[in-house]
């Protein structure tokens, strides 16, 4: 697989983003949804910020309070035996079998714009900011699908009651309509196909079953983009392979003669995130035709290997021009990069499923 990483990578880094308040620092500008608008490439960035801590022994967790519309800041001492700080992304309670208690940063969505796809100008203000009780830990990992003149943006809404997928829409990247939570917890990695197929909209989603099942990919149908049904299990983890631990949809599916090409992420159980592809039937995208046995992109460059959470390449959006797939992707939960791949080469690299 020929992968051309831009020389300017990483294209957007935390240092390029002005914090939204003076007592905060930006630690991540990554996992952006990508689309085009008015002749420009738009990144809907996930920006992660945390309160500046003058004392290296103190970690501060920012939490949005929907009643006051303000952030509250909780402080923890790193030597507090009640908590586990080993994963830099989260604070866990020691002895608890539950997931995390707090996140160490708050994410929201911010826009970056570019004429050439290489150099981006970042808006001064947040674009979508936590605004309700299901978003108190932040909003993350947007995917943008354009249908007619409307851009639909799904993102993870994170709060103590779980991580679900909410939807907003916009026509101009200024005014935003909120549609609420569409996929209840736990669900992530939701994206919708760019057109109706046989009269129905389709969405990929990634529930995390508890008593039985794994974090794997599902597909659902809708007639209005708000209510989804006829859920089908689509694609599963593969032991011993690059997608053995968890997986989820990435870019909006690309329509090709051979089928819908979906670029998805897979991680091993030790959290090494790669990108691969799956080809879905054009007429019935719940049918899997072919799939990557090897990743099409894996963390190799230093900015992919090292960072806030290293060994991660994670794409939420691509721009396709002819045979060129410009895959934008988050690196090491820190910055944004882009790599160009050949659409035909990706399709030719897939293993057909009998």
Residue among 12 and 350 whose Cβ is closer to ligand MAN: 12
Under rule CB under 6 A, which residues in 54-93 are in contact with ligand MAN? 89-90
CB of 208 to ligand MAN, least distance (A): 10
What span, in angstroms and rounded, lies between the C-alpha atoms of 240 and 223? 38
Residue among 156 and 334 whose Cβ is closer to ligand MAN: 156
Contact 57, 36 (CB under 8 A): no
Residue among 140 and 221 whose Cβ is closer to ligand MAN: 140
CB of 235 to ligand MAN, least distance (A): 20
CB of 127 to ligand MAN, least distance (A): 18
Report the residue number whose CB is nearest to ligand MAN: 89
CB of 301 to ligand MAN, least distance (A): 20
Contact 10, 303 (CB under 8 A): yes
**DSSP, residue by residue, 210-274:** SSS--S-EEEEEESSSSS-EEEEEEE---TTSTTSSEEEE-SPPEEETTEEEEEEEEE-TT--EE
| 140 in contact with ligand MAN (CB under 6 A) | yes
The three-state secondary structure class of 280 is: strand
Q: In what order do the strands lie in the sheet with 187-192?
A: 187-192, 201-207, 217-222, 229-235
CB of 48 to ligand MAN, least distance (A): 8
CB of 105 to ligand MAN, least distance (A): 8
| 208 in contact with ligand MAN (CB under 6 A) | no
| 163 in contact with ligand MAN (CB under 6 A) | yes
Classify residue 188 by burial, with Cβ atoms within 10 Å: 0-12, 13-18, 19+.
buried
Contact 189, 262 (CB under 8 A): no
Contact 60, 47 (CB under 8 A): no
Binding segment for ligand MAN (CB under 6 A), chosen from 64-72, 156-164, 214-222, 275-283, is 156-164
How many residues interact with ligand MAN (rule CB under 6 A)? 8
Point out which residues bind ligand MAN (CB under 6 A): 89-90, 103, 140, 156, 158, 163, 333
């Amino acid at each position: 697989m020929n992968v051309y990483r831009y020389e300017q990578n990483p294209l957007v880094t935390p240092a390029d983003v002005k914090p939204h308040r003076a007592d905060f620092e930006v630690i991540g500008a990554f996992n952006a949804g990508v689309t085009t608008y008015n002749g420009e490439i738009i990144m809907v960035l996930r920006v992660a910020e945390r309160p500046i801590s003058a004392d290296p022994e103190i970690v501060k967790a920012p939490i949005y309070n929907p009643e006051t519309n303000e952030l509250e800041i909780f402080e923890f001492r790193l030597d507090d035996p009640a908590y586990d700080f080993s994963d830099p992304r989260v604070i866990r309670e020691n002895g608890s079998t539950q997931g995390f208690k707090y996140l160490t940063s708050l994410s929201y969505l911010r826009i970056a714009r570019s004429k050439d796809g290489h150099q981006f100008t970042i808006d001064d203000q947040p674009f979508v900011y936590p605004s309700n009780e299901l978003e108190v830990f932040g909003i993350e990992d947007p995917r943008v699908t354009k249908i007619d003149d409307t851009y639909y943006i799904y993102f993870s809404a994170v709060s103590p009651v779980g991580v679900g997928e909410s939807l907003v829409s916009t026509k101009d990247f200024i005014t935003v309509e909120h549609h609420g939570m569409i996929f209840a917890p736990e669900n992530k990695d939701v994206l919708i196909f760019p057109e109706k197929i046989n009269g129905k909209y389709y969405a990929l989603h990634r529930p995390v079953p508890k008593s039985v099942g794994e974090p794997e990919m599902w597909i659902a149908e809708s007639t209005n983009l708000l209510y989804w049904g006829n859920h089908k299990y689509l694609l599963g983890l593969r032991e011993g392979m690059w997608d053995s631990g968890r997986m989820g949809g990435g870019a909006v599916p690309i329509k090709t003669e051979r089928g819908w090409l979906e670029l998805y992420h897979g991680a091993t159980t030790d959290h090494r995130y790669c990108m691969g592809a799956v080809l879905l039937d054009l007429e019935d995208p719940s049918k899997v035709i072919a799939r990557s046995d090897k990743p099409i992109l894996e963390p190799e460059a230093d900015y992919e290997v090292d960072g806030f959470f290293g060994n991660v390449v994670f794409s939420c959006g691509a721009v396709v021009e002819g045979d060129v797939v410009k895959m934008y992707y988050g690196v090491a939960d820190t910055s944004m990069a882009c790599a160009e791949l050949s659409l035909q080469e990706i399709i030719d690299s897939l293993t057909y499923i009998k």
